[in-house]
Amino acid sequence: MKLIRYGNVGEEKPGLEFEGKWYDMSHLVREYDEDFFAAGGLDKLKGEFDPKLAKEVDQNTRLGAPVHRPGKIICIGLNYRKHAEESGMDVPKEPVVFFKATSSIVGPNDAIEIPKNSKKTDWEVELAVVIGKRANYISEEEAMDYVAGYCLHNDVSEREFQIERGGQWVKGKSCDTFAPLGPYLVTKDEIKDPNNLNLWLTVNGKKVQDGNTNDFIFNVQHVISYLSQFMSLMPGDVISTGTPEGVGFGFKPPVYLKGGDVVELGIEGLGSSRQEVKNYEG
């Protein structure tokens, strides 16, 4: 299944894409949130959905992020070998873990706003994993049992805030609009192998990232198991698994986003998104 949330900001309703059409699911589901996943909502939705009984949704309607208010966005840094090389950093011996504020989440085609005083706003196409049930101290062999599905994520990053201002990376990752998510949450049964997916990103039509998750240092199963040793992974939590080479600060000289730029990105099987870049307006 491909889950969507559609409507104006703050007024999104749960929906579903089926055979190229969008359908409203608000007669069956209140929201795609922690309670939904924890209560086995995916199985219920699969069993009860009937396109003949559902209202079709105009595909010109805005899409919101496919998960409503996840408890956490957990990110893995430097998780592609070639990206670690372009960053001039050693290949990690254990996953590099940081958080991204959930207030940064926007819809897949909403604008990216360059923050006040930003000089180095950058892009990162990433595979995001959505957790389906609570996970604690699980093995890699068990990990996929805890996955609800996957979605596309642009882990927008302000490199000066992240790297040059001291402290943790989170402040360079958490500005408003820095987490366009979606268009869909694609359930895990539709993705044969999350560790072998093509992913790409363009800026103003020029392809700058063109990779595959087979370049992961730590694959999806390892990341889920690893994180579960340190914290409870809750239903609806989002794990963003890192970005391939081709980010702006890896260019020589570096290239960063500016007002008027257009970013487009996609992952095999998970759809694509488009964000226009605008300057902070106060």
Query: CA 19, CA 198: separation in Å to the nearest integer?
Result: 23
Q: Is the pLDDT of residue 273 over 80?
A: yes
Q: Residue 184: is its pLDDT beyond 90? A: yes
User: Cα(120)–Cα(232) distance, rounded to whole angstroms?
Assistant: 33
Q: For residues 199 and 197, what is the distance between their CA atoms, to the nearest angstrom?
A: 6
pLDDT of residue 88 exceeding 90: no
Residue spans of beta strands (DSSP E) within 13-132: 13-18, 21-24, 56-57, 63-64, 73-77, 96-100, 105-106, 112-114, 121-122, 125-131
Considering only CA atoms, which of 127, 131, 163 is closest in space to residue 146? 131
Residue 279 clears pLDDT 90, i.e. is over it:
yes
> Which band of pLDDT confidence, cut at 50, 70 and 90, is reported for residue 246?
very high
**Alpha-helical segments (H) within the chain:** 34-38, 41-48, 81-86, 159, 220-228
Which residues lie across from 208 on neighbouring strands? Answer: none
271 CB-near residues (< 8 Å, 6+ apart)? 2, 108, 152, 182, 183, 184, 186
Straight-line distance from the first to the last Cα atom of the chain, in angstroms, rounded to the nearest whole number: 39
pLDDT of residue 145: 98
Distance CA 195, CA 121 (A): 28
The pLDDT confidence band at residue 177, using thresholds 50, 70 and 90, is: very high
**In degrees to the nearest 10, what's the CA dihedral of 148, 150, 151, 155?**
110
> What pLDDT score was predicted for residue 85?
77
Contact 175, 158 (CB under 8 A): yes
Grade residue 84 by pLDDT with cuts at 50, 70 and 90: confident
Q: At the top level of CATH, which class does the domain 65-279 belong to?
A: alpha beta
Burial class (CB in 10 A: 0-12, 13-18, 19+), 195: middle
Higher pLDDT, 282 or 26: 26
Taking only the tens place, the pLDDT of each residue in 194-218 is 999 999 999 999 999 999 999 999 9
Mean pLDDT of the chain: 96
Domains of the chain, by residue range, sit at 2-63, 65-279
Which H or E run contains 277? Answer: strand 271-279
